[in-house]
Chain A
Amino acid sequence: MNFTLTPEQEDIRKLVRDFAAAKIAPSAAERDEKELFPRELFAEMGSMGFLGLPYPEEYGGAGMDFVAYAIAVEEISKACASTGIGVSVHTSLCSWPIYKYGSEEQKKKFLTPLAEGSKLGAFGLTEPNAGTDVGGAAASAVKDGDTYVLNGTKVFNTNGGEAEIEVIFALTDKAAGPFKGMSAFIVEKGTPGFSFGKKEVKMGIRSSVQRELIFENCRVPAANLLGKEGQGFKIAMSTLDGGRIGVAAQAVGIAQAALDYAVRYAKERVQFGKPIASQQAVSFMLADMATQVEAARLLTLRAAFHKSHDLPYSKEAAMAKMFASDIAMRVTTDAVQIFGGYGYSREYPVERLMRDVKITQIYEGTNQAQRMVIAGNILR
């Protein structure tokens, strides 16, 4: 049993924290207000080595593990949750399935620019009629010579329109249904027949983009099939297991930010002649918030540790994601409460945290779906 980070992991925390405080945090409120996607920040994070942390150096990565990755997502999300989810989707939903299931050629061609950060990645599974239940998936891919012809629509695609590389799921065998007949494809932006629909206007993570992807007779080289035909569902589910670690880390980062703001404010804000932190009603709230954040972080890092050490992590990731997002919702709400009227004002940062965090209970599988995963694991 060892709860200390390795010196390398500590270095990553410091490196990302310093960078995020200097470069990401100052403009976060403005980007939220104006719904600006920080493409230049992704370029900079790429050259810093933040976008390929868990992948081997031979593919342009940093050769670190998923704990270091989770720490990075937490620190980035502490500064800006929108940027945090962009990094998470890029790293665990797009790069990982290519790393895990891709051929050597695919890794060289697609993983390397992703890990180096010269290209941005995204992941397209969700469809208008296929959210938590993949059973409604309708996008199709029909083999024609050395290409697959894709047709269908994907929605809520994070990084969509910005990403140069998408991992897209489509049915290659409609009769077999999504569980046995779905396949995964690497689709590059700019491929004829691949276009973008509307951009979502959202409650939170407003400087992150979610777009509709439209495939109309889009011809994808057969060489871009990820894994084998029919492996799509397995690839999607194992990828989402890892994605949940990223979302859990994002929630921890947002919650930590809310806690930090609340502690500072409670010490500064004077009511009835003394700082409100000296009121038990407030100090106990802060104690609960701190405990919850710490517990969520431990669950998150443990799931990341499992993934790094090839231990089973599906249940662990689901628990971390569910718990971290639920407590983060509570912690950010409490932070707004501690700030009182100012907390509700856009001049202070905590209302943004509360808006941003709600989505962590929903995406990468709703928290209800996480309970299904966890229950399935313990009732086996």
Chain B
Amino acid sequence: MALAVNTEKRGGECAAGAPERGAGEKTVGKDKAEYRGVLVYAEQDRGKLKNVGYELLSAGRKLADALGQELAALVIGEDVAGLAPALIARGADKVYVVEGPEYGAYSTDGYAIAMEDVVGACRPSAVLIGATNDGRDLAPRVSCRLGTGLVADCIELGVDEETGLVAWTRPAFGGRILATALCPEHRPQMGTVRPRIFQRPEADAARTGQVIRVASKVQSGDIRTRLLETVQVCAAGCNLEEADVIVSGGRGLGGAEAFALLQNLADTLGGTVGASRAVVDAGWIPAVHQVGQTGKTVGPKIYFACGISGAVQHLAGMSSSDIIIAINKDPDAPIFKVADYGIVGDALEILPLLTAKIGKMLNR
């Protein structure tokens, strides 16, 4: 097993002592105006578009309309041209498709080259990427290569009135502040955007648009990592970022056994089980379930916080949920300050009741 790493192909010119790649110079100043339009990266997983791509189309549509420019989408994958109509129906004027067997599995190297090439071809003013695991892997690699700025994990997008630039708003310091940032002199302006912040637009089958295939420029040796295996730790559909309902548990539940009660409620509602950092650290449940600053950032329609006190770090990961329901024995738990509905009581007693009654309601 000897994989020589090729540092010459892409990036890394800096390493050879040459000026840094794409130092930004060529994109600043006079030709800023050449960069027009909004490009949305429509991430797919095994041939299926992720919701976040659709959500970004609605955000991107608003931006593009405000700027009076076009909205384009980019899809990269093995056999993904068939996904283009769905993107057009949801607001894309153009869809760039980069297709090929080399894109069968996500790789930073391959996807970065594809995105770089598409950005080079369409010169967008702004690029929106979903703040998923892959999106947050890919975006900084590409922005660095292009020598431009990137604002990560945004929860709000707007147009700065004074400058006409994209105003990217994101939380920092564990959610204690919101910072709004601009990228004045470099193009494209890039940002990753949290899933579930924007509504998924309705499909309009009558919309028309252009599908543009961009030839894959990835050559052998460009992709220096190899996916050997994909392991699912939790059952399919446990993706917290995409979940409509999350039932989360914290230390107040008293022990790992209580998570069966959470699972029952989650199953009844078609939801997913989440957890606070404390219980993940205590080993009650694997880290893949952790919600919060150091875990997943979620925004479901309903978030149940059971036995979770509501530390700021936890709130940072779930406060954009539509409805928060807190169940906690401690009436002073900070979680009640953010909850839409709170029940002071023992989650172990309340959860089975809730599960049974919801089960009855839904069967009716």
Q: Tell me if chains A and B make direct contact, with any CB pair below 8 A.
A: yes
Write the residues of chain A forming the contact surface with B, with a CB cutoff of 8 angstroms: 265, 268-270, 347
User: Which chain A residues lie closer than 8 Å to B8 at the CB level?
Assistant: none
User: Which chain B residues lie closer than 8 Å to A347 at the CB level?
Assistant: 329
Question: Using a Cβ cutoff of 8 Å, how many contacts connect chains A and B?
Answer: 6
* Contact sample, A vs B, 6 pairs, CB 8 Å cutoff: A265-B332, A268-B332, A268-B334, A269-B332, A270-B332, A347-B329
Bound-complex Cα distance A347 to B332 (A): 13
Which range holds the interface residue count of chain B? under 10
B301-329 with Cβ < 8 A to chain A: 329
By beta carbon, the residue of chain B nearest A269 is B332
Closest approach, in angstroms, between the C-beta of A272 and any C-beta of chain B? 14
User: Which chain A residues lie closer than 8 Å to B334 at the CB level?
Assistant: 268
What 0/1 pattern do residues 209 to 234 of B give for CB contact below 8 A with A?
00000000000000000000000000
User: Which chain A residues lie closer than 8 Å to B329 at the CB level?
Assistant: 347
What 0/1 pattern do residues 318 to 359 of B give for CB contact below 8 A with A?
000000000001001010000000000000000000000000
By beta carbon, the residue of chain B nearest A26 is B282
Bound-complex Cα distance A269 to B329 (A): 14
Bound-complex Cα distance A347 to B252 (A): 11
Bound-complex Cα distance A270 to B330 (A): 13
The 6 closest A-B pairs by CB, nearest first: A268-B332, A269-B332, A268-B334, A270-B332, A265-B332, A347-B329
Bound-complex Cα distance A269 to B334 (A): 10
What 0/1 pattern do residues 170 to 203 of B give for CB contact below 8 A with A?
0000000000000000000000000000000000
User: Which chain B residues lie closer than 8 Å to A270 at the CB level?
Assistant: 332
Closest approach, in angstroms, between the C-beta of B64 and any C-beta of chain A? 46
User: Which chain A residues lie closer than 8 Å to B332 at the CB level?
Assistant: 265, 268-270
By beta carbon, the residue of chain B nearest A22 is B281
By beta carbon, the residue of chain A nearest B329 is A347
Bound-complex Cα distance A270 to B331 (A): 10
Bound-complex Cα distance A270 to B332 (A): 8
User: Which chain B residues lie closer than 8 Å to A269 at the CB level?
Assistant: 332
User: Which chain B residues lie closer than 8 Å to A268 at the CB level?
Assistant: 332, 334
Bound-complex Cα distance A237 to B129 (A): 72
Closest approach, in angstroms, between the C-beta of A323 and any C-beta of chain B? 33
Bound-complex Cα distance A265 to B332 (A): 9
Bound-complex Cα distance A265 to B334 (A): 11
User: Which chain B residues lie closer than 8 Å to A265 at the CB level?
Assistant: 332
Bound-complex Cα distance A270 to B329 (A): 16
Bound-complex Cα distance A270 to B334 (A): 11
Bound-complex Cα distance A347 to B346 (A): 13
Bound-complex Cα distance A98 to B70 (A): 83
Closest approach, in angstroms, between the C-beta of A50 and any C-beta of chain B? 23
Closest approach, in angstroms, between the C-beta of B215 and any C-beta of chain A? 54
Bound-complex Cα distance A347 to B329 (A): 10
Bound-complex Cα distance A155 to B329 (A): 42
Bound-complex Cα distance A114 to B228 (A): 51
By beta carbon, the residue of chain B nearest A348 is B330
Closest approach, in angstroms, between the C-beta of B97 and any C-beta of chain A? 50
Closest approach, in angstroms, between the C-beta of A67 and any C-beta of chain B? 33
Closest approach, in angstroms, between the C-beta of A224 and any C-beta of chain B? 45
Closest approach, in angstroms, between the C-beta of A331 and any C-beta of chain B? 21
Bound-complex Cα distance A269 to B331 (A): 9
Among A265, A268, A347, find the residue whose CB has the most chain B CB atoms closer than 10 A. Answer: A268
